[in-house]
Structure 1
Amino acid sequence: MSDTDTQLFASSLAAIDVPLTRTDTAGFASTIDSLVTEPAVGVPLHLEGVSLDDTVVQTPPTPRLLREAETGVTGVGHAIAEHGTLVIDSDDAGTEPVSLYPPTHLAVVRESDILPDVASATASVGERFAAGGSAVFATGVSSTGDMGALVEGVHGPKHVEVVVLTDQ
């Protein structure tokens, strides 16, 4: 990760109408609370120095919380700068469904986990895949052209926002 990767990531997100907010660990909880629409559901972020414990986000996800949630909050393993892509882990905590079911996905990524390109990202998840794990590469809101005109929000979030947790 470099400042150039972070700038390219911000530019790529802007090109697909995905807002980006930067925060540090001290401002994390208030930043999350200011961005979510309640009710909000989340999963453990696995990002050192932050958690959802001091926010309005409810954890762990349950079927009822997923049905009712307006916002799903997850950490993402990596982000790909050149496309504004989020690498969302499939795990037992429910990260993938929390990123897909609520109308808004609020993704949290550590600045040092922003990679320049797809080749860097696939190299970084290679061990996970070899061990039988999986991840979703998601760029922007859910959309499909299968029905003729482009339709958004059919099989995933209608809105995506990203919080970049600055490195200390």
Structure 2
Amino acid sequence: MSTGSVEQFQQSLSRLDTAWTVVSPDDLATTVADLVDPPAVGAELPFDDLSLAETPVTLGPSPAQLRDAVTGVTGSRMGIASLGTVAVEFRKEGDEFVALYPERHVVVIKASDLRSDLGDAFGWIRREFEADRQSFILATGPSSTGDMGALVQGVHGPEQVHIVIVRDNE
């Protein structure tokens, strides 16, 4: 994906008060370690060349570990640059639970997995559905609701989100 999409994604995230960091693949483990507040749980990343194995994150957490976790770390194979949105996939690794239960969610996404807008994102989603991968949450910033009056964060998901954008081809 072009540098323009990364910059647009960063601008969208900033408008949402969502923190972000851009890293090289070699710096991912150190960056994740710096971003997590323990105890931290995670779902193994959906990328062949990136892993959470060298981070202080418990992979495949038990229900008790998930309940006690402060930080959850997942990967995303699609982001929408114009909206600051990421797709959280339902996989056997537990991405949805890891993304929604802890108060802090750290998302790892490759720069090449950013789509410029909804039209591009819907094309990706269509191909995923055709491949029988049909359960995604499209998450934009921290969870918030205004249905009780004032805007409240963290009611239906994490209070804080940090997106780690991994540069490609380094």
TM-score, normalization by structure 2: 0.95
Give the Cα separation in 2 of the matches to 1:69 and 1:32. Answer: 15
**Contact kept in structure 2, 1:74 and 1:107, CA below 8 Å:** yes
After TM superposition, give the deviation of residue 127 of structure 1 in Å.
2.9
Structure 1: tracts of 5 or more residues without a match:
none
Q: Within 2, Cα distance between the matches of 1:62 and 1:133?
A: 24
Q: CA deviation at 1:65?
A: 1.3
Q: Which runs of 5+ in 2 are unaligned?
A: none
What is the aligned-residue identity percentage? 41
Residue 10 of structure 1: aligned partner? 10
Counterpart AA for 1:119: G
- What's the secondary structure of 1:27's corresponding residue? helix
Measure the CA separation in 2 of the matches of 1:104 and 1:49.
24
Runs in 1 of length 4+ with deviation above 4 angstroms? none
Residue 87 of structure 1 and its aligned partner are, at CA, apart by 0.9
Amino acid at match of 1:109: I
For residues 20-99 of structure 1, the aligned pairs below 5 Å read: 20-99=20-99
**2 CA distance for matches of 1:15 and 1:127?**
29
- Kindly indicate whether residue 143 of structure 2 is the aligned counterpart of residue 113 of structure 1: no
Name the CA distance, whole Å, in 1 between partners of 2:141 and 2:133.
26
- Report the residue type matching 2:154 in the other structure: G
Deviations 1:102-151 (A, max 9, x none): 00000000000011011111110113334362101110010111112211
Aligned counterparts of 1:114 and 1:63: Cα–Cα separation in 2:
32
Whole-Å separation in 2 of the counterparts to 1:128 and 1:64: 32
- Structure 1 residue 138 corresponds to structure 2 residue 149: no
The one-letter code sitting in structure 2 at the alignment partner of 1:165 is: V
Aligned partners of 1:39 and 1:68 also within 8 Å: yes
| Higher mean displacement: 47-56 or 103-112 | 47-56
Structure 2 residue aligned with 1:148: 149
CA distance in 1, matches of 2:135, 2:20: 25
Number of residues of Structure 1 aligned to a counterpart in Structure 2? 168
Distance 1:65 1:126 in 2: 34
Question: Following the alignment from structure 1 to structure 2, what is the Cα–Cα distance between the partners of residues 132 and 108?
Answer: 19
